Structures are given as C-alpha cells and as structure tokens.
Amino acid sequence: MPLNVGLVGAGMIGADHARRIAASVPGARVAAVTDIDPGRAAAVAASCGARTAASDREVVGSGEVDAVLVASWGPAHAGTVLAAVAAGKPVFCEKPLATTAEDCLKIIEAERASGRRLVQVGFMRRYDTGYRALKRLVGGGRLGEPLMVHCVHRNASAPEEYRTEMAVHDTAVHEMDAVRWLLDDEIASAQVLFPKRTRNRFEHLQDPQFMLFGMESGVSVDVEVFVNCRYGYEIRCEVVGESGTAELPPPPGPAVRSAARLSTPVLQDWKDRFADAYDAEIREWVMAAAEGTAAGPSAWDGYAAAVACDAAVRSQRTGEAEPTGIGPRPDFYA
C-alpha cells in the first residue's frame, strides 16, 4: 500500500513536490490537495490524480491521508503542523517550521508529548551531494579545526513583495541550517550589515546584505545575500580550517567551447540547483513516514533557525551582533 500524502499549499514548491512524488518517489502518492486558492488546488490535484479538500484541517483529519506535506505560506505552517502532530500523523514542513520561535516551541512540546519524532523540516541542503561531501571532509578532520565559513546566496531577482527581513528568514535561513549541520554547532549570535545598495531592486528593499554568525565554538560564518544579482542563482560555501579549505563543487553542466570562448551555464533558480536534494529529502521522509515517524532536519532544527532569524532581524535594526539565546538541545533531538 503506498503512503497517502495530503498536500497543504499548491503553489510553486507544493506543485513541484506533488510532481516529484508522482514521478520519482516510490511508495507514495498524493491523495488530497488543499490551497486557499481553490484553482491552484484543483490544478495540482488533477496533475497527480488526487482529490481536492476544503482546508488543511480536512486534509489532516481525513482517514485517507497517512502523512501531511506542508507547502503553504510560512505564517500558516505552525497551525497545520500542530494539527498533524495532534492527529499522530508524520508531517513534512517546508521552511520555516513557524514564523515565531514561540510557535516552534509549541511544536516541539507537542511532538515530545507524542513520544516520537513526527516532524521533518524542509532544509534540503542536507541532502545535496556537494554539501554532504563538505560535511564528510569537516567531520573527517582533513581540514583541521574549522575556523571560518564563507557563504554566498544569490538569486537572479526578487519580487516586489520580498521585504528586507526576508533576506534573513526566507533566504539566509538555509545557510543558518547548513552551517549548524556542517559544523555540528549552534549559532550564538547574528549581525547584519547593509552594504551599498544595488539599483536593480524595488525601492523598499535593502539588497545586498552581509551577515555574520558567531558559532558557539567560536567559528565565524559570513553570508552574502544578494537577491537581485541578475545573472542567475548561485550558492557558494567554503570551509576554512587550520590545515586546509574545502568548497562546494559547482553544479554539473556542460563546458561549451564556441566562438573563441569556454563557458558553462549558470542555473537560474533553486528548483534546478537543488532538484536532486529535494528528491532525496522527500524519499527519506516517505520512508520514515511509512514507519509512522520522521527523519532528517527536526523541529529542533526549525527552532534553532527561528531564533537565529530573530537575532538577525533584530540586528537589521540595531546593526549590532545580537545573541540568539538558544538553550541546550533536548535529549529527544539528540
């Protein structure tokens, strides 16, 4: 029997996950789809042979749904995740787990009370082969003690509704999770600096931004976020250790020699850059959900990212390094 997935949110990534489950995830099917825009729900449901549902609560409560995939708007995530946990159903939640640290803590409490892991957060970089190779190098000791991590996160362009804070909780949140995981460390403080602004932006937006995270171990992380770089989508990460450095490999692409030039393509968005990672995270989720539990990035990781985001957004106002105030990780999430 396949795992019957209920999809909440049929926008860009919800539609992509529905297609992925139908095309490349064995052992699962999308059974029900809901969206506050019924037209979107109907289109995605039709694309994968599912039925539509009127609300997230109907999806969660349906006897036909074994597990829930949340790809709605961030502020709606916590309500759906809490309902799924209360129903004892495994739930995959796109980032952010919740838009406030308080809501993340409510999810953690509910999950711990249920006695088993039910929540996986969509930090897909942990499934990217390049990031995995970096993590093996860091853990294997070949670079020596890590000292610094340099990261770049560029998008070709950002829509008008993209606000200055979103550079933190929509975009840099991936680096926050990636460095915590790479270094097996927590972010102790976050600072955001505002460099000269690009003219290729909507007036209200500060772009680019430069972020500095102080890790509990003392490692320093810098992140350039530039969401109107124009030329494409680019993710870079270099770990500098006491005896060596390692950086993410460039995404594969043909090297073209033509008209006296050697060139390789630049990917245009996250869907292409992390396609394999999204496939792998959803496959792992389905396998764990079929056993009634969850794997991968946890509710604790969602919480850790939320407190780091809060500190960075505070720093956007103060310009100072702001403490995250993260406490010890509960044994439940060891």
How far apart are alpha carbons 54 and 30 in whole angstroms? 16
**Residues 111 and 304 sit within 8 Å (Cβ to Cβ):** no
Is residue 171 near ligand ISE by the rule CB under 6 A?
Answer: yes
Is residue 301 near ligand NAD by the rule CB under 6 A?
Answer: no
The binder of 171, among ligand NAD, ligand ISE, none, by C-beta within 5 to 8 A per type, is: ligand ISE
Please select the residue that binds ligand NAD; options are 71, 97, 225, 305, rule is CB under 6 A: 71
Is residue 131 near ligand ISE by the rule CB under 6 A?
Answer: no
Radius of gyration (C-alpha) of the chain in whole angstroms: 20
The binder of 122, among ligand NAD, ligand ISE, none, by C-beta within 5 to 8 A per type, is: ligand NAD
Specify the stretch interacting with ligand ISE by CB under 6 A; choose among 40-48, 170-178, 190-198, 204-212. Answer: 170-178
How far apart are alpha carbons 1 and 79 in whole angstroms? 29
* Smallest distance, ligand NAD to C-beta of residue 20, A: 12
The binder of 37, among ligand ISE, ligand NAD, none, by C-beta within 5 to 8 A per type, is: ligand NAD
Nearer to ligand NAD, 53 or 219 (CB): 53
- Distance, CA of 199 to chain centre: 28
**Residues 60 and 87 sit within 8 Å (Cβ to Cβ):** yes
**Residues 21 and 3 sit within 8 Å (Cβ to Cβ):** no
Residue pointed to by tokens 């320093």? 220
Please select the residue that binds ligand ISE; options are 120, 155, 228, 316, rule is CB under 6 A: 155
**Residues 24 and 279 sit within 8 Å (Cβ to Cβ):** yes
**Residues 51 and 32 sit within 8 Å (Cβ to Cβ):** yes
Terminal Cα-to-Cα distance of the chain (whole angstroms): 32
Chain residues that interact with ligand NAD, rule: CB under 6 A? 8-14, 34-37, 40, 56, 71-74, 76, 94-95, 122, 124, 170, 270
Chain residues that interact with ligand ISE, rule: CB under 6 A? 155, 170-171, 174, 270
